[in-house]
Amino acid sequence: MSSLRKLFHDVDTPTNKLFHDVDTPTNNLVDLNVGESANLERVTVETKDNGKTFKKDECIHCKKKYKPSPGGVTGSTHSKSCPYMKRLKGTNNGFINSEACSSASVSASASPSGFSSNGGYDQMKCREMIAKMIIAHELPFLFVEYHWFNRLMECNNHLYQKVSWVTVRKDCVKVVEVEREKLKKVLENVDMVSLSGDRWTSNQTIDYMCLTAHFIDSDWKLRKCVIGFNELAPPRSGEGIADGILECLVKWGIEDKIGTITLDNVSSNDMAASSLRDKFQRKGKLHFEGLFFHVRCCAHILNLIAQDGLRTIDCCLVKIREGVKYFRKSRDRLLEFGKVATSFDIDTRRSLCIDVKTRWNSTLRMLESAVHYKLAFQEYALRDSNFEWCPTEAEWARAEKVCRLLEVFLDTTNLFSGTSYPTSNLFLIEVFKVKKEINNAYISKDEFLKNMSVPMYEKFEKYWGEMGVLMSIASILDPRFKLLALQFTFERLYPVNELTSRIGDVTNKLKSLYEKYSKATKVNSSSTKSSGSPNVHGIPEDDFYAYLKSRPVETPQKTELEMYLEEPNCEALENPNFDVLQWWRQNCNRFPILSKMAREVFGIPFTTVTSESAFNVGGRILDEYRSALSKDMVELLVCGGDWIKSASLTSIKTLEQSVKEEENLEIQIP
């Protein structure tokens, strides 16, 4: 015990040379002053004057040198005049200066947390970083009063001053307001904004409407930001939803910039979109002339179609789900199941997982893992008389067919929901794969596949007409594809007698859209190129031939769209890093009208995934311990968290997300 006590005693004493010398260039660190100068650190340095060497104290913050005093009186006096100590005490009543915050915190990585640009500790900067941490990681305000958090902060820097939860709450408001003003300035320079929205009911039984803005900024980067997380006042009718959305848009000053809105396939959402469209049309502020105003969420459509397919094997799914639960309840059963799988030379590195019933992709994962262990299921059922949930051979066969069909759905859903390639130019090819699989099942001689595909086929055809044209135009605006993607997909989707009319419908709408952009920018697509102006004043009145020579020579000029389509396709098919937005940025001088159209088409979202993700954040913020938060504070935390995470250079994970990734609803087979 004495040796252990001595070990810790030595660490904190100035006699320990290792810790004593770390931060001092002269290896002579002077103890801290007491009293009001307790936050002042100084080091002893050597200076030369007229060939003589003197020892002086130097403030580590402002670098001012002064005569040392054994009693520390000089240091105490300097603390009153030190510029850094004045800033530390502050003149802003203890709250973050919003102007300094906006200028000094352009990015979270601009300077180390808690340190000013001159290297000194800055309490206000530290509080700003704490506020961002609270918001981004969805922590309670009381986190700043936790004992070990404060011990950690004091250990890192003894100048840290503890703050209360009330203070950090006000700091969070200041930080979010700064981020809001930054985003407003960005939106001021955007011509068109697309929206996606969804509804969610909290544990307070309050309905919230999440609204996300999608646009391409001046650097040709696709931006997505949550601009509203507002309570919907009852009744939750289509008109009420439209009023809530419009109120949010007015607050941001973008009510005249809305091009499209993407919503789930619910009747109230249809009514809301129709109401908004009528209001914008009356004001004459309807982009695309309303052609694509209401976009239906493709991920939701795929979910509905996939659920139709899974519904045909409900009995098999119930058996597999209950069987997996049976193994999970007992470690011994799982071990025995693993031994059975090993005896059949089945790779046991694959996990047995259970699904979330409302998520078809998790059900597919469960189904695929069960099919992988099919022989083990059958053998285990023979060994354990209590195991009653082994599917029959016919049910296994159907499950395998469903897995093969839905695998392509999973790839497409991942593309819609992902961020690695966010623009819509690849969507046509992926949706074509889904359509092709459904068509093959629809014309199959297999009675089970044919019956299963009927509702899937009908649902796909119902929504394809609305989203197919927009996806086709987006693919044409990819310089690698142009009309080739349209020809490739349509030739395989439609009979020969429909092919010409289908392709003609898309190209006609593309030309019509281009003409609208051309007129809006006051550029005449059929303008003539003049060689000079007629000089009528210098022509004799009776010289007809001289008059003819003075007339301009008219030559037809092709439109930007015609020139773009006639150029060879960009040879970048094998380049995985090809960025279609940057290509248009580099060619916007050649195609000023077409590039503007491409910018706005690529900014249209095809899913409401971003808004749905915000509900997960809302659910974590409004947990059972924080259900008393006001709706305004909930909106501030959800929106602010989205803005701070977007500005961060690294991926920010919450504690709950980390735990879910570790559990992942899976159990490794021993």
SS3 for 452-496 is HHHHHHHHHHHHHHHHHHHHHHHHHCCCCCCHHHHHHHHHHHCCH
Provide CATH 3.30.420 ranges for the chain.
Answer: 191-297+630-646
pLDDT at 665 (0 to 100): 40
Q: Percent of the chain beyond pLDDT 70?
A: 73
Q: Which of 6-15, 173-182, 286-295, 508-517 has the lowest mean pLDDT?
A: 6-15
pLDDT at 609 (0 to 100): 77
Confidence at 370, pLDDT banded by 50, 70, 90: very high
Tokens 């002893």 locate to: 44
Confidence at 656, pLDDT banded by 50, 70, 90: very low
DSSP H or E run through 263 = strand 258-263
Q: Architecture of domain 191-297+630-646 in CATH?
A: 2-Layer Sandwich (3.30)
pLDDT at 354 (0 to 100): 86
Burial 448-476 (b: 16+ CB within 10 A, else e): bbeebbebbbebbeebeeebbbbbbbbbb
Confidence at 536, pLDDT banded by 50, 70, 90: very low
**CA–CA distance, 64 with 85 (Å, rounded to integer):** 13
Confidence at 213, pLDDT banded by 50, 70, 90: very high
pLDDT at 39 (0 to 100): 42
Q: Which of 174-178, 307-311, 589-593 has the lowest mean pLDDT?
A: 307-311
Confidence at 186, pLDDT banded by 50, 70, 90: very high
pLDDT at 267 (0 to 100): 87
Bridge partners, residue 65, by sequence: 58
- For 19-32, what is the mean pLDDT? 34
pLDDT at 533 (0 to 100): 44
Report H helices in 216-297: 238-252, 267-283
Mean pLDDT over each residue of the chain, to the nearest integer: 78
Question: Tokens standing for 646?
Answer: 């977007």
Peptide bond just before 234 cis, omega within 30 deg: no
Let me know if 98 is exposed, middle or buried by CB neighbors in 10 A (0-12, 13-18, 19+). middle
- For 390-406, what is the mean pLDDT? 92
Q: Which of 129-133, 148-152, 409-413, 579-583 has the lowest mean pLDDT?
A: 409-413
Contact 510, 564 (CB under 8 A): no
210 three-class SS: strand
pLDDT at 374 (0 to 100): 94
- Checking if the pLDDT of 481 tops 50, the result is yes
* Rounded-to-5 percentages of helix, strand, coil across the chain: 55, 10, 35
